[in-house]
Amino acid sequence: MRFSIAGVDSLIIYFGDKIDEEITRKVKKAYLSLKALNLEGLIEIIPSYTSIFIQFDIFKYDYKSLKNLLKNSVNLNIKDDSEEKIITIDVYYGLETGFDLQKISLEKSLTISEIIQIHTSKIYDVYAIGFLPAFAYLVSVDEKIATARLSTPRTLIPKGSVGIADNQTAVYPQNSPGGWNIIGKTALELFDKNIESLSIFEVGNKVKFNSISKEEFLFQGGIL
């Protein structure tokens, strides 16, 4: 664990310097252990690929005191039960919803059904959540369909769109500008104000995509 000052009221802990499964596992364990410690005066705890950002109450801690406390109390051997949880997302991979399916098909010399088969055959890990509420960065997309971001981002990507950027995939939880390659759409609400956890994802969850027909998508409330 390497500590660095982030601000007068915040610090960041690094667990490595590359996007890698082993490092993410450490981040997740440290995050779970931090939450379990339930320390007073921690305002935000934001896990990401290789780091955990912590904002703290300056009347309870300073950088040094919190660093010392955490160095000795973060347990990287904590038991992690969340690994079993797999969230399944139904996706309609159609030309009306997957604006870039044809482009990827040409670039990668794959048929559209091959792209769908490759995208749905993997189980992805939630490495980080950010950019938009409940926007989960899912790793890692099979190299055969990994596609660089659009050189000019779209001004509007519809809510529920499923995208690929390099070896990551994600679902847009709301309408947003964005530069990911869009391959399909889900009717699932990712950021739901009515559920207590707000977001269906947490860092460390596993996610699987399931291909559904246009009829099923529409039946689930999907909008073309």
Partner 1 sequence: MSLELINNPFFVTLQDRGRFSYAHLGVTNSGVMDEYAYFIANKLLENSLDTNVLEIGCSNVIFKVNKNTTFCLTGADCEFFINDKPKKLWQNYEVKKNDIIKIGKILSGNWLYLAVYGGFLIEKEFGSNSTTVKENLGGITGTRLKKGDFLPFNKSRKINKKFLKKEFIPKYEDELTLRVLLSYQYENFPKEEIKKFFSSSYMVTKDFNRMGCKLQRKAIKCDINGIISEGIAFGSIQIPPDGQPIVLLKERQTLGGYPKIGTVLNIDCFKLAQAKANTKVNFQEISYLEALAKNREFYSSLFFVNNLSKISLDS
By CB under 8 A, name the binding residues for partner 1. Answer: 4-10, 12, 17-19, 43-53, 55, 58-59, 62-63, 128-135, 137, 174, 176, 191, 193, 198-199, 201-203
Residue number with CB closer to partner 1 (135 or 180)? 135
User: What is the chain's Cα-based Rg?
Assistant: 19
- What is the distance between the alpha carbons of residues 136 and 102, in angstroms, rounded to a whole number? 25
Residue number with CB closer to partner 1 (6 or 150)? 6
Residue number with CB closer to partner 1 (189 or 191)? 191
In whole angstroms, the minimum distance from the beta carbon of 92 to partner 1 comes to 24
In whole angstroms, the minimum distance from the beta carbon of 152 to partner 1 comes to 17
In whole angstroms, the minimum distance from the beta carbon of 38 to partner 1 comes to 13
- What is the distance between the alpha carbons of residues 218 and 213, in angstroms, rounded to a whole number? 9
- What is the distance between the alpha carbons of residues 93 and 17, in angstroms, rounded to a whole number? 35
CB neighbours of 158 closer than 8 A, spacing ≥ 6? 172, 175, 185, 223
Beta-carbon neighbour count of residue 11 at 10 Å? 21
In whole angstroms, the minimum distance from the beta carbon of 112 to partner 1 comes to 30
Residue number with CB closer to partner 1 (58 or 76)? 58
